[in-house]
Structure 1
């Protein structure tokens, strides 16, 4: 059994893995249930269009990362980490209690407020989540640990997205969603009780409650170490690229493939499985150590398979009855599209796992959580820019497939820029390709 899977048998990792998995799962059960409810029943609540409401919901979930990440990074450095995680899980239970009330009184405003509070809870959990791994894992376990967390997160997103959509569509769907989110939150807290003690990095830290000045300070911490700064920019680019692709899945499934709602789920599933497989393969490919040579390798795949996805995309489907999933899978062209998406996900895993490991291992331990908080702020900013760019280019007349092609070309440019900013990426990539040169 490889190092990363042995970790699943150990108390220093398994309770944390289950805790973060259930957190990501719960976020997406609630978010997608709310999106489906808004999409199909918005007229019950407001005259605002469903499209505007869905984008408002996405913004409300991301906004707390700008508002609270800086403070969260300080708290994660100041306090013992397992205690802080349990506190955030109790907060999650309280937030899900508000969700129950929101569904019970059928208040859209309260549902959206709950979504904002979920984003706040996630923004608190983020810095302590990634700062905990270097405390409990050895250096040769960090790649595998990050791979498990990364793959687990995308599987949780997939399952939560499917689960939320299925539950809200049932008779009395709001009641089912209410029961599910509270149960998952409670299970997450129970799992967090098993996380071992993780000492505070800087217990004497005086917390600055001003989010603006502390955000500037967090970003200064990020820039303090050039390697870490380049790593954070690479991670943020990955979330830009991923957000750009994920946002196009509904339009691609409907307008390009001519499929129905199940086709959207199929695209998300294949993409998520690809990231999971790629992430888990990183430990073996890297020799159980930080191997930044995988970053340019991942970039190459992200570009080439996205370009092939553009090339392989059929002409926009004629409007009419959407194809059932079986009919869609009967087309050879669909399988090429799915293969491209699988490989984009896999190479995304090769790209992102070494970058997270780089940031964790080369950050100053005394302010590692604040570096990760700065990373989360930039991630959120990049995702917002990706949404704006995607909407703008589509409005300008680009097709969904052409937008994906633009993303692929931008990724190639970013890969060159990352290698220029940190030559170690290219040097280690050449060494990784030639095993005789792998030794440092």
Structure 2
């Protein structure tokens, strides 16, 4: 579905998301700043802790209840009730901003957190009910892009109206804008179509500890679900620390002005938006788990480079004027920092979009809102952990630049752990980048591969990188049957093990390994996987199709899985083929040359013979483009 079609289908839900994001970010910063201005009693560090605590405390207390109510009640009506109650909170916040009374400001921050605690679980659970299963990645990408834009817009608006100086006119304008945003969010909620309750007979547990324990018990049974929740919570902690370090880092290390911090925030918002939209393109309308370790790797690299690049800035004297945006752009190290921030946010989007999608896909509809409420509670706890981490760095008098190095090391350990959980997905994504970087790939007929369920893929063998191209073009993870000698190469064997390659040998050379390979193929197909093999048994040395070996017949017969003939075209004569001739001629072949992967029609398992399969592949090879 095109982005315009996706936006039209999400309709009132999308409008509600936009207005709610603007309203929440704008009011939070206005209230926090006014609380700091009230009598000058709070230092900046204490202000951050107090504002975050007031906002997040209702999350911990009321999220278990809000998730249960979202599962039990009719969805659109429940949203409208929350938004109408939120209008009272907006009015209280407007009065607090105009008067600057500390008690009103604190109550308004807690009220803003209370509305978020009841609204966010039902808001997040709506997406899987509005969109089809294969549209969830696109939907989450779009929502993350919009969230980064609304967060940035609300923050800049609050900065301009309430944070520049203590002006009565600015405070009145901020109060009116907050009321307007709250009213528009309520109006948008009225456009959400009626949706039945996910589980109208669900029991509501009023004890938050008991309700949370019940949800934890359900989530703990699904490993992907609770690991995804922990990943999203880590994203929140990481983002909290990075944003908390930006201002002191800009002042202490870069000796930069407030305008430079604004540029940093705009770049990070742009990076989150670009990363969210790119993650949709890299996902092929499916949950691409390989983006998660790829994202953490990029986050680690660019966080570390922020520390390295900042070392090129000399220690300023008190009389040195602050750097402006244009002065920073005139420095090579300054441009490097801007690129680092942009790429850091981009890779953070790669990391979090698949995790958000996994939570929505793996939670049962009957208790999805409760699971999302638990995830939000974890986010709140990890955000609190981020605030504590920042406070600890300040207590140890750790410079902000060094703090980035510490954060990079910790995130690097997280990256290693994530890779151990899903190495084959990361390697498949790496194959996508390598294959599309070297070749211009064209495909035809791959829609014959089902979104779910087992299938054998049988392809001609032209070069050493055939598996790379197949892995990069097929929209599902593929297990390959490969000659056992490759699995014995010292470094390559670890990568092939992580990619779950199935080694095989000839019957005369190692009959035990052959039987083991057949068992692994049968087990993989029984689990619904795709398995690819090259029935010729060797790479062609003359560019022609060799005789297919009969092992494919046994694999199809034992598993009952259909077989899809594949044909690789355009590889003969490339650097990785065995075409005779000078290496120089093959090296001079243009980079990004065009190669094709075409598919024929699936053959039922009971009709598979080596001869028929060979003829099918030959027919596809002879077809005209």
Normalised to the residue count of structure 2, the TM-score between the two structures is: 0.67
Q: Deviations over 1:120-179 (max 9, x none)?
A: 111111111211100010122111110111111111111101101111245512211110
Map 1:82-161; keep pairs closer than 5 Å. Answer: 82-161=76-155
Higher mean C-alpha deviation, range 355-364 or range 418-427: 418-427
Q: What's the counterpart of residue 160 of structure 2? A: 166
Partner residue of 1:282?
Answer: 279
1:61 matched to 2:55? yes
CA offsets 1:195-247 (integer angstroms, 9 cap, x no match): 12222111111211111221222222321211111111111111111111011
The residue that corresponds to 2:241 in the other structure is 244
Give structure 2 stretches of 5+ with no counterpart: 434-467, 478-625
SS of aligned partner of 1:200: coil
**Cα distance in 2, alignment partners of residues 338 and 323 from structure 1:** 14
Whether contact under 8 Å (2:299, 2:411) holds in the other structure is yes
Say yes or no: does 1:357 pair with 2:350: no
Q: Using the TM superposition, give the Cα deviation of residue 431 of structure 1 relative to its aligned residue in structure 2, in angstroms.
A: 5.8
> Does 1:383 find its partner at 2:352?
no
Matched, 1:393 2:387: no
- SS of the equivalent of 1:300 reads helix
| Partner Cα distance (2:385, 2:44) in 1 | 21
Question: Secondary structure of 1:172's match?
Answer: helix
Aligned: 1:78 with 2:82: no
Q: CA deviation at 1:428?
A: 4.7
> Are 2:435 and 1:436 equivalent residues in the alignment?
no
Q: 1:65 to 1:310 in 2, by over 3 A?
A: same
Larger Rg: 2
Aligned pairs for 1:169-248 (under 5 A) are 169=164, 171-248=168-245
Query: What CA deviation, in whole Å up to 9, does each residue of 1:395-426 have, x standing for no partner?
Result: 22422111111111111211222233455644
Gaps of 5+ in 1: none
Moved more, 164-173 or 369-378: 164-173
With over 3 angstroms needed to count, the CA separation of the structure-2 counterparts of 1:327 and 1:38, relative to structure 1, is: farther
Distance 1:316 1:222, change over 3 A: farther
Q: Give the number of aligned pairs.
A: 434
Q: Is the 8 A contact 1:132 1:198 kept in 2?
A: no
Alpha-carbon distance in 2 for matches of 1:410, 1:106: 40
* Cα contact 1:3–1:141 (8 A) shared by 2: no
Whole-Å separation in 1 of the counterparts to 2:147 and 2:237? 17
Taking structure 1 as the reference length, what is the TM-score of the superposition? 0.93
Provide the C-alpha distance between the structure 2 equivalents of 1:32 and 1:292, rounded to a whole number of angstroms: 35
Distance in 1, matches of 2:34 and 2:329, equals 28
Structure 1 residues 315 and 386: alpha-carbon distance in aligned structure 2, compared to 1, 3 A threshold: farther
Does the 8 Å CA contact 1:296/1:429 hold for their aligned counterparts?
Answer: no
- Bigger RCO of structures 1 and 2 (CA < 8 A, at least 6 apart): 1
| CA distance in structure 2 between the aligned counterparts of 1:140 and 1:3, rounded to whole angstroms | 13
- Decide which structure has greater strand share: 2
CA RMSD of aligned residues (A): 1.9
- 2: distance between equivalents of 1:137 and 1:25? 24
Q: Distance in 2 between matches of 1:152 and 1:70?
A: 27
1:296–1:351 contact (8 Å) kept in structure 2: yes
- Aligned counterparts of 1:316 and 1:268: Cα–Cα separation in 2: 24
Segment drifting more, 326-335 vs 276-285: 326-335
**Deviation per residue, 1:89-113 (Å, 9 max, x gap):** 1122110111122234431110111
Q: Which moved more, 1:84-93 or 1:230-239?
A: 84-93
Q: Relative to structure 1, is the Cα distance of residues 426 and 243 closer, same or farther in structure 2, using a 3 angstrom cutoff?
A: same
Distance 1:50 1:234, change over 3 A: closer
Per the alignment, do residues 348 and 191 of structure 1 end up closer, same or farther by CA in structure 2, a change over 3 Å counting? same
4+ runs deviating over 6 angstroms = none
Aligned to 1:366: 366
Instruction: State the 1:330 CA deviation.
Output: 2.7
Could you tell me whether the CA contact under 8 Å between 1:4 and 1:141 is conserved in 2?
Answer: no
Q: Which residue of 27, 38, 41 corresponds with 1:42?
A: 38
Give deviations 1:31-59, integer Å, cap 9, x for gaps: 222333344x3326xx4445423320121
Distance (Å, rounded) in 1 between the aligned partners of 2:121 and 2:112: 15
Which 10-residue stretch deviates more, 146-155 or 79-88? 79-88
Check whether the contact 1:42–1:49 (CA below 8 A) recurs between aligned residues: no
